[in-house]
């Protein structure tokens, strides 16, 4: 009975005071109590209120402008924003070899330690071709995995170290068997100005000035061109293979009957090492035009009969592509020029094969030394003091560069203003510009084109 009375009393009180039992209140009323203001685009107070990273960018989504107002620092804002937008790209340790990672939007940047490069610092610079030729004995090709891959010129193969090259034929190109050229020769006391690299030059119908006698077999690729019409020597050349010799195009006169002598050393006596070959085909570079310019594209190939039998006194010089020739060989400092040319301008010709070591000349220095146009397929070599040069009679002969004991043909004696004149250099045909043409002719010449 008592419980009924209690219920009735509670009910009556509820009716009298109209008590509501709702849990939620209207939104407008709630907003007046629980109001959180945003800084971005919120009016004058936006520039006064202190930014709050947790409130504005973590509890809510913020814009780049809001983040910038919070950090008030460009670098810190970008660092935060790059991770905030798409996560941290650097979490997976993408940078190798102790490189540091910087996050970006849908990207990352690796800052490599010294000696490494690449997107992920994966490339060891010390193994690339640009650094000491990648450690290769001859040719070097860059490789993203190994850093570099070495290879060898025809007639050589890679040694077990996969770096150096060793002969695989009895008489490989560029390897002197009888004597080594004197690599300790003081280059005409020629100190390169401002440590600039120097490049080769020669003289009209050039010859060696300021050089000295070579040794028999020391320059076994050197040949002597003999005019059967006039019974005298007139130019030089270089053995490319058993069938072909390369020389200067300006040496070759129309209808000239030529004999090529290989194994020659002293022209005034027979030494038993000389071999004589008829020229059965003359091929000048297709763009050579003596009527326009006697020395532009100054290169020609002579086909011989019978083929040369290689020996200690007659073997080919090596050829390399333009990349190796220009990036490695022509930056090595000096080269050797040889021939039976005059010992001075208008002077006597020597009996013994002469040689001279000459520095390469920087191109702008080369061009400024002459009023005559030095084309891109030419280069200069010599000393400014004028003590060493090629001279009349040396034309067509080799400008050879030694690399790791192997000799490569870098130039052909072409022209010059006087012989060893002060302030002048010898000008040479840049063989690297004709590498593909030489290979095409000497290794795959169509039989129906032969005379």
Place of tokens 């019409």: 229
- Tell me the two tokens of residue 333: 């400092």
> Across 86-178, where does the E strand assignment appear?
100-104, 107-111, 116-117, 123-124, 139-143, 147-151, 156-158, 165-167
Instruction: Tell me, yes or no, if 213 is annotated catalytic.
Output: no
CA nearest neighbour of 233 among 140, 74, 147, 342:
342
- Non-local CB neighbours of 442 within 8 Å, separated by 6+ positions: 240, 241, 243, 244, 301
Active-site annotation holder among 250, 277, 297, 399? 250
- As to burial, measured by CB atoms within 10 angstroms (0-12 exposed, 13-18 middle, 19+ buried), residue 314 is buried
The question of whether 298 is a catalytic residue gets the answer yes
Cα separations in angstroms, 178 against 92, 182, 269: 61, 13, 20
Structure tokens at 348: 């006597």
Q: At a CB cut-off of 8 Å and minimum separation 6, what does 443 contact?
A: 241
Residue of 298, 338, 394, 432 with catalytic role? 298
Residue from 214, 369, 395, 432 carrying the catalytic annotation: 395
Residue 5, class by beta-carbon neighbours within 10 Å (0-12 exposed, 13-18 middle, 19+ buried)? Answer: exposed
Is 336 in contact with 356 (CB distance < 8 Å)? yes
DSSP bridge partners of 158: 165
Q: Is 395 a known active-site residue?
A: yes
- The set of catalytic residues is 250, 298, 395
């Amino acid at each position: 009975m008592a419980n009924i009375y209690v219920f009735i009393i509670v009910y009556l009180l509820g009716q009298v005071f109209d008590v509501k039992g709702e849990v939620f209140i209207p939104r407008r009323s709630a907003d007046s109590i629980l109001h959180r203001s945003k800084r971005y685009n919120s009016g004058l107070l936006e520039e006064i209120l202190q930014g709050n990273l947790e409130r504005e960018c973590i509890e809510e989504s913020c814009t780049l402008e809001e983040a910038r107002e919070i950090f008030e620092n460009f670098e810190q804002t970008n660092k935060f924003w790059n991770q905030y937008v798409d996560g941290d790209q650097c979490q997976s340790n993408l940078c190798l070899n102790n490189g540091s990672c910087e996050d970006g939007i849908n990207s990352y940047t690796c800052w490599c330690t010294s000696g490494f490069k690449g997107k992920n610092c994966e490339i060891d610079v010390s193994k690339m071709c640009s650094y000491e030729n990648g450690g290769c004995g001859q040719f070097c090709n860059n490789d993203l995995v190994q850093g570099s891959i070495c290879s060898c010129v025809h007639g050589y193969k890679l040694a077990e170290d996969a770096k150096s090259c060793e002969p695989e034929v009895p008489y490989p190109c560029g390897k002197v068997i009888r004597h080594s050229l004197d690599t300790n020769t003081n280059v005409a006391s020629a100190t390169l100005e401002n440590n600039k690299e120097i490049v080769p030059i020669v003289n009209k119908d050039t010859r060696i000035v300021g050089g000295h006698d070579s040794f028999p077999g020391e320059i076994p690729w050197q040949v002597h061109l003999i005019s059967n019409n006039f019974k005298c020597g007139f130019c030089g050349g270089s053995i490319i293979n058993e069938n072909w010799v390369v020389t200067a195009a300006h040496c070759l006169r129309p209808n000239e009957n030529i004999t090529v002598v290989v194994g020659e050393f002293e022209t005034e006596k027979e030494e038993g090492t000389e071999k004589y070959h008829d020229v059965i085909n003359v091929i000048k570079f297709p763009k050579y035009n003596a009527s326009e310019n006697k020395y532009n594209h100054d290169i020609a190939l002579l086909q011989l009969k019978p083929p040369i039998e290689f020996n200690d006194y007659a073997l080919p010089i090596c050829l390399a592509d333009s990349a190796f020739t220009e990036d490695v060989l022509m930056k090595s400092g000096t080269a050797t020029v040889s021939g039976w040319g005059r010992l001075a301008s208008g002077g006597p010709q020597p009996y013994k094969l002469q040689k001279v070591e000459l520095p390469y000349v920087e191109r702008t220095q080369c061009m400024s030394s002459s009023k005559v146009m030095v084309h891109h397929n030419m280069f200069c070599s010599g000393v400014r003091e004028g003590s060493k040069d090629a001279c009349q009679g040396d034309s067509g002969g080799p400008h050879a560069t030694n690399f790791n004991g192997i000799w490569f043909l870098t130039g052909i004696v072409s022209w010059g203003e006087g012989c060893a004149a002060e302030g002048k250099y010898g000008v040479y045909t840049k063989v690297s510009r004709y590498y593909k043409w030489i290979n095409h002719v000497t290794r795959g010449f169509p039989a129906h084109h032969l005379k």
